[in-house]
Each structure stands twice: as structure tokens, then as C-alpha cells.
Structure 1
Amino acid sequence: MSKRSEESSIKAHRKYSPVSSLKNRWQEWADQHIITQKLNPFSEEFDHELAMSTRLHKGDEGYGRPKEGTKTAERAKRAEAHIHREIRDLCFIIETMAKPRRDGKIQVTFGELFERYVRISDKVVGILMRARKHGLVDFEGEMLWQGRDDNVIITLLK
């Protein structure tokens, strides 16, 4: 083996050795940790200027959402899927409770729906509000209260 090929072999071994790779990964983690601590308001190394310059603002991509790939993001996706299932269930219950009117709309009173749906879920009002936000139902008023709003008509839109 020539001296030149031996030197290149040693350099290649150093460059791709497991110890060097581990050292590099550790250094990357340490560098990232320093930045994370500068952004953490509970850390002694907190840097207010850096935190304010890197934070997201309303309208920015990702604002008000957990970072992708985190456990919080995973929980948020599961919760959103659960809410959508409850909305579909609520719409199905409304559809099965009443016959369509001549114009094709399906309507039910809040009192009737509350009595039927409260056995399924205690979040009737919250699910109704989310369903209205998604354009699936409509009703008068901001909030519905059991007893007081029993005669409010809920219309299934889709």
C-alpha cells in the first residue's frame, strides 16, 4: 500500500468512524439545546431579543399550532378527528330524529335533541357550535341553554 493511499484511508476512517459520528451528533444536539434554552422563558439563558425576533405572528404559517412531529401535534390530530366523528354522529342523530320538510330541510328542536343526544355525549352544545362553525347546522343565538332554549329550532344544512 502506498503512503498516499494509506493517508487517505486514515482520513476516510476518521471521517466516517462511529466515534466521530457520535461526537458530531452530540455537538449538534448541544448546539440545538443552547438555542432552545435561549428561547425558553423559564431558562436562565433566556434571550428576550432572540425570542421576539424568531416568534411567529398572527397569519404566519404554523401560528397557533404545535410544532409538527411533536406529541402535542399528534394529540391535536387525534382530538380533531374525534371532534369530527362527534359532529358526524350529531348530524346523523338529527337526520334520524325528524322527517324532512317539504323544502327538504330537516329540523329538530334543541330540547328534543338534548334529550336524545345527552345519553350519547354530554357535550351537546359544544358539538352543535362546532357543527355550525363547519356549516353543517344552523340555529338562532350564540349559545343554547337547556330549559331556556328548548324550543330553538336546529336546521341540518348538509
Structure 2
Amino acid sequence: MNVEHEVKLLIKEIQRLGKQGDDELYSVTFGVLFADEQCANIFEALVGTLRAAKRKKVVTYEGELLLQGVHDNVPIKLLKDSL
């Protein structure tokens, strides 16, 4: 798995599914990302990709591990639009 490539794809998907806030940053909830069919086809391990993106300070969200159902309403904010 090429982590950089996956993170670049994640950036595009957050921009596609998210909405820009007053701070001009895109944000999407974990539930929207997880339930999206296109994302399901792209990401083998969405949670792992999100964690890698968070370590690279590309996205931010509360907590370490996001779980489907439990964390569906957790917002994921895109901090950078490229790597």
C-alpha cells in the first residue's frame, strides 16, 4: 500500500464529499466517508489512511481510532489540499 498515494486520494474524496466552512477548510463526517460507495472501492483500510493523514497533519479529527457506527458524526477537517 502506497501511503502517500492513498492520502492524496483521501484529500480528493474529502473535497468531493465535504463542505467548506467559514475557515475555507473542507470538512466531512466519518459516517459520510465510510458509507460512500466510491470511497469503499478506493480505500481498503479507510481508518488506516485517515490515521496516516492525521500523522502527516493533512487532516484533523478527535480521537485516535474511528469506528463505523460509534464515530459516524465525528467531523474530519482537511488541513492541506496537497502533500
TM-score (norm 1): 0.47
The answer on 1:97 being equivalent to 2:17 is: yes
Task: State the one-letter code of the partner of 1:142.
Answer: E
Between 1 and 2, higher relative CO (CA 8 Å, sep ≥ 6) is seen in 2
Task: Give the C-alpha shift of residue 122 in structure 1.
Answer: 2.5
Structure 1: any 5+ residue segments left out of the alignment? 1-78
Which runs of at least 4 in structure 1 moved beyond 2 Å after TM superposition?
none
The answer for the alignment partner of 1:83 in structure 2 is 3
Aligned Cα RMSD in Å?
1.1
Q: Which has the higher strand share?
A: 2
The answer on 1:135 being equivalent to 2:57 is: yes
Q: How many residues of Structure 1 are paired with residues of Structure 2 in the alignment?
A: 78
TM-score (norm 2): 0.87
Q: In structure 1, the residue corresponding to 2:62 is in which secondary structure?
A: coil
Q: Which has the higher helix share?
A: 1
Structure number, greater radius of gyration: 1
Task: State the one-letter code of the partner of 2:71.
Answer: D
The answer as to whether partners of 2:19 and 2:28 remain within 8 angstroms in 1 is no
Task: State the one-letter code of the partner of 1:93.
Answer: E
The answer for the alignment partner of 1:153 in structure 2 is 75
The answer as to whether partners of 2:28 and 2:77 remain within 8 angstroms in 1 is yes
